[in-house]
Structure 1
């Protein structure tokens, strides 16, 4: 059977791709969110979440079983980390802090089998893609999604060179970007940097993506022209939903209630 990547099919059809962010190593939560109508991809966060590579296989299969593409964000661009994520059946990987074209070039090489790259062969557990062994290898180089995060002014400056290195998705991390730029989140300078990356993606005909925490943020980014946007995270949904119900029940939402570590 060929490799089956729903996210790539959605993007190839020119459709917008809303997604979800998973920080908790729970197949029950992953499957529950993935079964929500309209979700096309789910980010398995092994950088900032509680997820480690021992959780990869179960999570990728739980998500893919719902017709949704699991992408794994690994902590660093190390080739062995990329290999572990892809060999678990991930439909693609995301690399944080892709701050130079050289980093991205090495990431792309680590995602592809020789002669195109340096990835070692061992797809015994890639069931979530719909293929294993030789069937998997035949499609993996072309079908798996390579996403890199733009989170630093250096990567904004070098965005054209980064896009030329064979990535599929450029994914803006707006919170780290504002911090690394030393500007306020949502300021004109911050939004100008985001607009620069978006325009470069559109010119290069590459998928533009950005992290959002709320439906309102996601709606704004889709309207700006982004192709792929996270709508919220598992922990935000859990805490915000409970806090809202508690507020209704008691009429008193305590000051300081926060759903995640992100703040705007």
Structure 2
């Protein structure tokens, strides 16, 4: 049996700050998730963040707000090579996302390489012919429907990886805020197993350390274990509480 590769540990970048993103990139984590769905991160700030983290070995993954063909084109033209598309519930959703990632005849990506950082403004020789070799698509399985359709989604040519979102998965099951519920965990582990069987990398979001380890043990290839804003909120509150307690002692 081939030896399983080590799980890749990732951190979210949600603040919108290129400086914070650079600090996170320098942490030693394997990958960054630059979040354009639930954060104040648009095209311009994504560009600044990509420029800031480019000097570090951590691999940036950009999550687009939703699987829109135009938005995907714009983020690719910025130079984002690894895109994550949220709320992919069916194989048809996955096929649309794949088409948006690639130039014709494989897909429908609009051609603007002379204007785009992705091609270094047409300074990358053979960019149009070879662009598909330099991009990857991760689709998010984050609903009960998607979990049920995981095998079909994984079978779509051009889906390079899946990323499971337990929070939205729980919500879709009527279990809002209950990511550790046994039924939610079962859907997550079943999707991990389906991905392993399909030979495609699978990731999961797990800010709870024990649950992250559970999913790693279940076969997850990459796990997001924290976010810049979450870590800052927690550490600053803890520090304020610590010294606030001292101050009350007189």
TM-score (norm 2): 0.88
1:124-203 correspondence to structure 2 within 5 Å:
124-126=116-118, 133-166=124-157, 167-183=159-175, 184-203=178-197
Unaligned runs of 5+ in 2: none
Q: Secondary structure at the match of 2:125?
A: helix
**Deviation at residue 89 of structure 1 after TM alignment:** 1.1
Q: Distance in 2 between matches of 1:215 and 1:33?
A: 18
Contact 2:119–2:127, Cα closer than 8 Å, also in 1: no
Q: Secondary structure at the match of 2:37?
A: coil
Which whole-Å deviations, capped at 9, do the CAs of 1:62-115 have from their partners, x for residues lacking one?
A: 122212222111111110010111111112111111011101001001101222
Q: Secondary structure at the match of 1:249?
A: helix
The residue aligned with 2:10 is 19
1:7-46 correspondence to structure 2 within 5 Å:
14-37=5-28, 39-46=29-36
Q: Distance in 2 between matches of 1:140 and 1:248?
A: 52
**Deviation at residue 27 of structure 1 after TM alignment:** 0.9
Q: Distance in 2 between matches of 1:139 and 1:52?
A: 27
Q: Distance in 2 between matches of 1:212 and 1:140?
A: 32
Q: Secondary structure at the match of 1:93?
A: strand
Which whole-Å deviations, capped at 9, do the CAs of 1:182-226 have from their partners, x for residues lacking one?
A: 133212211111111011000000011011224444333222210
Which whole-Å deviations, capped at 9, do the CAs of 1:132-169 have from their partners, x for residues lacking one?
A: 54344454313322011111111111111100112111
1:1-264 correspondence to structure 2 within 5 Å:
14-37=5-28, 39-123=29-113, 124-126=116-118, 133-166=124-157, 167-183=159-175, 184-251=178-245
Q: Label 1:136 to 1:41 Cα distance change in 2 as closer, same or farther (>3 A).
A: farther
Q: Secondary structure at the match of 1:65?
A: coil
Let me know the Cα RMSD of the aligned residues: 2.0
Q: Distance in 2 between matches of 1:86 and 1:160?
A: 27
Q: Secondary structure at the match of 2:88?
A: coil
64-73 vs 28-37, which moves further: 64-73
Q: Distance in 2 between matches of 1:135 and 1:57?
A: 23
TM-score (norm 1): 0.83
Contact 1:97–1:150, Cα closer than 8 Å, also in 2: yes
Q: Distance in 2 between matches of 1:24 and 1:95?
A: 19
Question: What is the count of residue pairs matched by the alignment?
Answer: 237
